[in-house]
Amino acid sequence: MRIVSAHEGTIPISSSMSNAFIDFSQMDCSVLALVSDVVVDGKPLVGYGFNSNGRYSAGEILRRRILPRLMAAPADDLLDEAGGLSPSAAWDVMMRNEKPGGHGERSVAVGVVDMALHDLAAKVAGVPLHRWIAEHYGDGTSDESVFVYAAGGYYAPGKTHADLQAEMRGFLDAGYEVVKMKIGNDLVDDLRRIEAVLEVLGGDGSRLAVDVNGRFDLDAALLYAREIEQYGLFWYEEVGDPLDFHLNATLAEHYRGPIATGENLFSLQDARNLVRYAGLRPDRDWIQVDPALGYGLVEYRRIQDMLAQHGWSSRRCIPHGGHQFSLHIAAALKLGGNESYPGEFQPTGGFADDAVVEGGRVRLDDRPGIGFEGKAAFIEVLRALHA
């Protein structure tokens, strides 16, 4: 098989909300279609990818470096020994003449292509991606359903505590059991917001995660830690700068509850430094590396191998991003779960339109590949790329 053409574009996923570090008024996203020469029912199979959320589109890198290398490679360089499309062989091609370190947003560009390659490989095999992953990289089996938590609770102009409560109630009504909200703007107001959400959760802090988005210095991290420890929260997320491992290690000495971080670490090397130096505790903390932002699933598997060598279970990983790609990865690599954005980051965010969350878990469906075809508003955008 051969990739006949690559079609890359940028779409807005902007909104009026903000976290403690950025607003999303200018947020956008790279999207990609890889058209193959494999024809089924009179149509070529096409693999689709996009770059999760939270980092801007990476079109320049895709257009100038990554896609030209992919498209110039002899077809055989992208295949495995059995003649199937090999995302790991393609990874080596895409990363030719790229120095180590300084991963920046190159990892985002490679992640978009890696997602499309995996979508295509599974479609060629005629199976849902989780099955393809389980067969090629896993133990041959996937979890039938995946734990998901509902992420939201953003700051937004005019948003009241009652609005926040209504949002969280909506998540519970939709079948979620754990919810996440943003904190980090103002201690007094944040404590009131947390208590408002706890009211909706019947006072059960173990069902509420809070996310600082990297805003705090060490003093603020410890101050908030002292204030929120009493609630017994699900986790305290990305408290300081993603690369400030010392801050995280000091926090872990003082805060007994679970800590989550890693959504802004984009490489094996960064994830390894996190595990080596950030004081994370394999019995309670969570690693949130997002395969779409961090060089794709090929790199994410290397991260999983590294974690296993350091005594970490894959069940301690719950990727950031709330996308369908990670949902398949979570099922096939037996992760702890996956993020979900029931309301945000449209049209890319969320799972298939017919996905049902029950008891805080979502079942995988049988659509071939990642299954963007089951997400009407998004597949329309993706198909327009190669129409």
130 catalytically annotated? no
Positions at the binding site for Mg(2+): 211, 237, 263
CA-to-CA dists, residue 67 to 3, 90, 346, angstroms: 11, 11, 26
Closest separation in Å from C-beta 71 to ligand OAA: 32
Q: Which is nearer to ligand OAA, 32 or 183 (CB)?
A: 183
290 binds Mg ion per the rule CB under 5 A: no
Closest separation in Å from C-beta 376 to ligand OAA: 23
Note whether 176 and 360 are within 8 A (CB). Answer: yes
151 binds ligand OAA per the rule CB under 6 A: yes
If one counts every other C-beta atom within 10 angstroms of the C-beta of residue 155, the result is 21
Tokens of 111: 């992640």
168 binds ligand OAA per the rule CB under 6 A: no
Count of residues that interact with Mg ion, criterion CB under 5 A: 2
304 binds ligand OAA per the rule CB under 6 A: no
Q: Which residues in 275-385 belong to E strands, given as ranges?
A: 286-287, 338-340, 357-358, 361-363
Closest separation in Å from C-beta 357 to ligand OAA: 17
Interface with Mg ion in residues 237-276 (CB under 5 A):
238
Query: Is the bond preceding 291 in cis, omega lying within 30 degrees of 0?
Result: no
299 binds Mg ion per the rule CB under 5 A: no
285 binds ligand OAA per the rule CB under 6 A: no
If one counts every other C-beta atom within 10 angstroms of the C-beta of residue 98, the result is 13
Closest separation in Å from C-beta 318 to Mg ion: 11
CA proximity to 353, closest of 335, 380, 329:
380
Q: Which residues of 252-289 are buried (b: 16+ CB within 10 A; e: fewer)?
A: beebebbbbbbbbbbbbebbbebbeebbbeeeebbbbb
Q: Which is nearer to ligand OAA, 36 or 326 (CB)?
A: 326
107 binds ligand OAA per the rule CB under 6 A: no
320 catalytically annotated? yes
Q: Which stretch binds Mg ion (CB under 5 A): 198-206, 226-234, 236-244, 332-340?
A: 236-244
Binding pattern for the stretch 21-60 against Mg ion, x by CB under 5 A and - elsewhere: ----------------------------------------
Interface residue with ligand OAA among 9, 47, 49, 54 (CB under 6 A) is 54
CA proximity to 378, closest of 325, 306, 302, 299:
325
CA proximity to 326, closest of 138, 130, 34, 141:
130
CA proximity to 149, closest of 15, 289, 327, 352:
327
211 binds Mg ion per the rule CB under 5 A: yes
For CA atoms 165, 171, 176, 181, give the dihedral sign. negative
Q: Which is nearer to ligand OAA, 9 or 242 (CB)?
A: 242
Active-site residue, from 118, 123, 130, 182: 182
| Residue 375 interacting entry, from Mg ion, ligand OAA, none, C-beta within 5 to 8 Å by type | none
CA-to-CA dists, residue 186 to 84, 160, 193, angstroms: 53, 15, 10
339 binds Mg ion per the rule CB under 5 A: no
320 binds ligand OAA per the rule CB under 6 A: yes
Closest separation in Å from C-beta 321 to ligand OAA: 7
Amino acid type, 183: I
- The catalytic residue positions are 182, 320
